[in-house]
């Protein structure tokens, strides 16, 4: 699945290149429960076409109804309107009307008729894998693009809005077994660009998951070629040290936000000892390795294990720490005579 922000910006560029009026809505603040996080984008064309989302749908319907008149996009002199604020859910009636959760309120910044050339510059840079900060002058609507080196949260002041856009999240899976099929499918639906690497011909022949790239070289080469960044996740799923270990060494030296390996508690302890003894990986590097991967949900089947892993990856992506759901600790506490989760069933 492609980065949703890029889809919105590319579609908005297309509309503006065609000379059509359009508005870009950004969620800038939320109070209480909210359907969409801060920074979410939606673009609305004068013909009612919509891409992206700022809520569960009701707010989008209201915006479509409001912006059916060209006069809503431009001033009486025919110039694009300046950015303006919009707020939904301030009252209980509004929350009920727009389908917001109880107590939920969200604030939007609306930008009218964005400059097509600036949008083109932004889209081109994002398509080339760069991080870009988009700064909007709230008085004039002027937009400035600035290269940046790391993602950061949306910043809103009385005078400007700063939002960093960049490459979407990526996932590299080592091994093309049944578990990988489930995990790759879930990752695609969760917004990751997924690549599966497996040099074993017998696994390549049976691979058939759509929208997933396949690399048939050695896993450590695949990690190097991917050039992992802070939006990259790498998980080893083969149970074969010859494939998993070399990939993990490269992954743990990278800025990837999540590096994990499947296996029982015993196998993961052996792996850590092996990487320390034979490859001189430091304690700090090994501390980054998630293993056994996943959160504790009592999973038994490959599909359930994939849910467990995907949940931990999303938690890591969102900066959520859940030590109370750690697989190894909970499995040992609840069933000390068996291995973590049911990973041994996959050995």
Mean pLDDT of 69-88: 87
CB atoms near residue 242 (< 10 Å)? 10
pLDDT at res. 339? 38
Mean pLDDT of 206-220: 87
42 pLDDT band, cuts 50/70/90, is: very high
Q: Which residues contact 305 (CB under 8 A, 6 or more apart)?
A: 179, 182, 294, 299, 341, 342, 343, 346
pLDDT at res. 310? 95
pLDDT at res. 96? 62
**Higher local confidence (pLDDT), 84 or 189:** 84
By mean pLDDT, which of 243-257, 259-273, 314-328 is the weakest? 314-328
| Domains, the chain, with CATH or none | 4-165 (no CATH), 170-346 (3.40.50.720)
- Backbone CA torsion sign across 218, 222, 224, 229: negative
Output phi, psi for 185, to 5 deg. -65, -45
pLDDT at res. 268? 87
pTM of the entire predicted model? 0.65
pLDDT tops 50 at residue 29: yes
pLDDT tops 50 at residue 216: yes
In Å, what is the CA distance from 36 to each residue of 57, 113, 166, 256? 11, 24, 19, 25
pLDDT tops 60 at residue 342: no
Output the average pLDDT for the chain.
85
* Cα–Cα distance measured from residue 316 to residue 135, given in angstroms and rounded to the nearest whole number: 28
pLDDT at res. 80? 85
* Cα–Cα distance measured from residue 272 to residue 277, given in angstroms and rounded to the nearest whole number: 9
Mean pLDDT of 251-263: 93
Question: Whole-angstrom distance between the N-terminal and C-terminal Cα of the chain?
Answer: 30
HSE of 330, CA atoms in CB hemisphere, 13 A: 16
The model's pLDDT over 98-140, given as tens digits with 9 standing for 90+, comes to 666 555 788 999 999 999 999 999 999 988 778 899 999 999 9
pLDDT at res. 328? 61
């Amino acid at each position: 699945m492609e980065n949703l922000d890029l889809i919105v910006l590319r579609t908005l560029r297309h509309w503006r290149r065609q000379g059509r009026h359009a508005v870009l809505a950004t969620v800038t603040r939320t109070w209480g429960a909210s359907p969409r996080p801060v920074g979410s984008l939606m673009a609305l064309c004068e013909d009612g076409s919509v891409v992206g989302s700022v809520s569960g749908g009701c707010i989008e319907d209201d915006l479509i109804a409001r912006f059916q008149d060209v006069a809503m996009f431009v001033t009486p002199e025919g110039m694009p309107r300046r950015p303006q604020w919009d707020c939904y859910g301030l009252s209980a009636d509004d929350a009920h009307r727009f389908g917001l959760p109880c107590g939920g309120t969200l604030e939007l910044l609306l930008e009218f008729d964005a400059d097509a050339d600036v949008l083109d510059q932004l889209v081109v840079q994002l398509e080339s894998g760069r991080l870009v900060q988009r700064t909007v002058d709230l008085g004039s609507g002027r937009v400035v693009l600035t290269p940046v080196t790391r993602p950061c949260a949306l910043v809103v002041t009385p005078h400007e809005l700063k939002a960093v856009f960049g490459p979407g999240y990526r996932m590299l899976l080592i091994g093309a077994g049944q578990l990988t099929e489930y995990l790759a499918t879930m990752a695609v639906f969760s917004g990751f660009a997924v690549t599966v690497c497996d040099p074993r011909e017998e696994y390549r022949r049976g691979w058939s998951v759509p929208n997933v790239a396949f690399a048939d070289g050695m896993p450590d080469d695949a990690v190097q070629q991917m050039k992992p960044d802070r939006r990259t996740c790498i998980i080893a799923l083969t149970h074969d040290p010859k494939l998993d270990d070399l990939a993990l060494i490269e992954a743990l030296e990278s800025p990837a936000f999540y590096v994990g390996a499947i296996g029982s508690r015993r196998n993961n302890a052996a792996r850590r000892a092996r990487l320390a003894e034979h490859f001189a990986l430091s304690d700090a590097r090994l501390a980054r390795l998630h293993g056994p991967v996943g959160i504790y949900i009592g999973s038994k089947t490959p599909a359930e294990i994939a849910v467990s892993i995907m949940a931990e990856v999303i938690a890591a992506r969102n900066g959520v720490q859940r030590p109370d759901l750690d697989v190894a600790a909970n499995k040992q506490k609840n069933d000390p005579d068996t291995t973590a989760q049911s990973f041994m069933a996959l050995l």
